[in-house]
Amino acid sequence: MNYYVIVEGLGEKYVYKSWIPQVNPSLSYVSDLSKVQDNNFYIISGGGYPNYFKIIEDGINEVNQLGFFHKLVISVDAEEMTYNEKFTEIYNYINQFCCSVEIKIIIQYYCLESWGLGNQTLPRRNTTDEELRSYYLFLMLQNQIPNCYLLLIQRKLQELNFHISTFTKLLSTDIQV
């Protein structure tokens, strides 16, 4: 079985290239479509939002024309949308096109970078940057708060102007090497 994978950005391309064989060891990555044979996966970056819409359309056309892929996987960040809002957006977009294979939509909620923040060994927790420390503290407290306080959390996020770029900043400025 061969998979055509569209990811939102370059970071996701590197992560999925490593993760997919961990989840399914029978699959091998190929960087060139001409090298796809059996049990391969090919990954293309969508270039971020909103550029990935064009890559999705092109990917559907390519899968249809080539005929040797069995599944198309689309992985994007929810960013400021809810999981359901982003899923619906992608679902409605792909339904404009006819695809000859099954399509799987993966929504990374909030974003792939938020997974990195949850990783206990990747980012340093003892940063000296005060802005980063306040974000880490808020994220740690958020995990301790019951669901009934979700509205307060959302308000605090808005107050902090806390969005996708915050996750990216946290990871890009404070990762252990």
Q: Are residues 83 and 11 in the same domain?
A: yes
The rounded mean pLDDT for the chain is 79
Of the candidates 141, 167, 163, 166, the residue with the CA atom closest to the CA atom of residue 152:
141
What average pLDDT does range 116-138 have in this prediction? 61
What's the structural domain count of the chain? 2
Long-range (24+ apart) CB contacts under 8 A made by 162-165 are 162/135, 162/138, 163/79, 163/80, 164/77, 164/79, 164/80, 164/110, 164/111, 164/113
Q: Are residues 82 and 150 in the same domain?
A: no
Q: What is the pLDDT of residue 112?
A: 72
Of 19-23, 93-97, 157-161, 169-173, the one with minimum mean pLDDT is: 169-173
Considering only residues 133 and 152, tell me which one the structure prediction assigns the higher pLDDT. 133
Q: Are residues 70 and 10 in the same domain?
A: yes
Q: What is the pLDDT of residue 125?
A: 57
Q: Are residues 18 and 100 in the same domain?
A: yes
What average pLDDT does range 65-72 have in this prediction? 97
Q: Are residues 64 and 100 in the same domain?
A: yes
End-to-end CA distance of the chain: give it in Å, rounded.
36
How distant is the alpha carbon of residue 116 from its chain centre?
A: 11
39, 61, 137 from 143: Cα distances, Å: 39, 42, 10
56 class by beta-carbon count within 10 Å (0-12 exposed, 13-18 middle, 19+ buried): buried
Q: Which domain holds residue 134?
A: 118-173
Do residues 41 and 5 lie in contact, with contact meaning Cβ atoms separated by under 8 Å? yes
pTM over 0.75: no
Residue 141 has pLDDT above 60, yes or no: no
Residue 158 has pLDDT above 70, yes or no: no
Of 54, 88, 109, which one is at a domain's C-terminal end? 109
Residue 108: band (very low, low, confident or very high) from pLDDT cuts 50, 70, 90: confident
